[in-house]
Structure 1
Amino acid sequence: MATSSSNTPNHKIIGTKDPAKSYTDRISTRVVALKPSGEIAIIYVKEGNYYKLPGGGIEADESPTEAALREVKEETGAIVSLRSTNYFATTEEFRFQQHQVSYCYLADVVDDAGEPCLTEEELADGFVQQWMMIGKALEAMSAAEPTTEFGCFVKERDIYVLTEAKWLIDSSS
């Protein structure tokens, strides 16, 4: 839980770095996209049976904040405004042959009338975007039993990110 009073975002390491492995680095974003009603965007992934927050890889020509805005729009159809250009948490994952660092942002939904624009892979994985209250989203994420190792990594990461965001939201109200 976020208890630090410094300006350093909380950081969670998921998985263990194997010194015998060679990892490919990947930088990505995660976004907690909040409607005025208190609902957040959450995506159920049928292939693997897990829930995830909107987010994904940062492309070579974009900043982490630009990637955050793009990923939310692609995966949910929503246009969001980041509450800050500073991320509130980071995660670092060592999974398979990948070392991924995710920058996590809190955003307010400006317009949720758009439609997701999913990749072929996301469509094949069965992405289903939903809106639910943060507590309900945490329950759904926690109750899901991923059927893949990848889904287990995502579950641990996004429960951490959402718990950190909930603490921030609750402490600011």
Structure 2
Amino acid sequence: MAKAKIQRSAGGVVYQEREGEMWVALIATKGSTVWGLPKGLIEEDEKPLATALREVKEEAGLLGESVADLGYIEYWYRDSSTKVLYHKFVHYHLLSHEGGDVSAHDREVDEARWFPIDEAIERCSYENERDVLTRARAEWDKLSSKAT
């Protein structure tokens, strides 16, 4: 059996505050049936944060600034067309919303939309990304308590 290939990606949890509540941006793919976080492959000589910022702009139409490192998730998947097995690592950053609009997402995404954090956690299709959103909420809670 062939060895698994390592794949490294990065993504972002873009947030804004609305009336004291954390809202985050999710993207929909696969005919708007799968909701998740914007992410993409880290290009050669690119740092994970640069990838996260680029992918958030491309997939969600948003500009962000890094507030915290949220760590990474990992999972295995097999490419359906090539049958190659991948061990994927996705590094996430918490990003404050600095501009852009979710309507400016690219064509590989069906929809990008803002959700209150609890609804985003419920709506997110993958458990490991729900865990990232839970980490993001904890970081935001820490930041909010420092601001008051």
Flag as ranges the 4+ runs of structure 1 deviating above 3 A.
none
Task: Spell out the pairing of 1:18-167 with structure 2 (5 A cutoff).
Answer: 20-37=1-18, 38-47=22-31, 49-84=33-68, 87-96=69-78, 97-113=85-101, 115-118=104-107, 122=108, 127-141=110-124, 155-167=126-138
How far apart are the structure 2 equivalents of 1:73 and 1:92? Answer: 23
Pairs aligned (count): 134
**For the Cα contact (< 8 Å) 1:89–1:164, is it kept in 2?**
no
CA RMSD in angstroms, aligned pairs only: 1.9
Distance in 1 between the 2:106 and 2:29 partners?
Answer: 15
**Alignment deviations for residues 111-145 of structure 1 (CA, whole Å, 9 cap, x no partner):** 02371233xxx25xxx211111111111212xx5x
8 A Cα contact 1:23 1:99, kept in partner: yes
Q: Does 1:168 align with 2:139?
A: yes
Query: Residue 25 of structure 1: CA displacement?
Result: 1.1
Q: Is contact 1:31-1:54 (8 Å) kept?
A: yes
Task: Name the structure where strand makes up a greater proportion of residues.
Answer: 2
Deviations 1:48-100 (A, max 9, x none): 8221111111111311111111000001111111114xx22211112221111
d(CA) in 1 for partners of 2:65 and 2:57?
A: 11
- Which residue identity does 1:34 align to in structure 2? Y
Structure 1 unpaired stretches of 5+: 1-19, 145-154
Amino acid of the structure 2 residue aligned with 1:128: E
The separation in 1 between residues aligned to 2:34 and 2:12, in whole angstroms, is 17
Q: TM-score, normalised by structure 1?
A: 0.70
Aligned equivalents of 1:28, 1:138: Cα separation in 2:
21
Q: Unmatched 5+ residue regions in structure 2?
A: 79-84
- SS of corresponding position for 2:17: coil
Give the secondary structure class of the aligned counterpart of 1:167.
helix
Q: Against the structure 1 CA distance between its residues 140 and 113, is the aligned structure 2 distance closer, same or farther, given a 3 Å change threshold?
A: closer
Identity over the aligned pairs, expressed in percent? 28
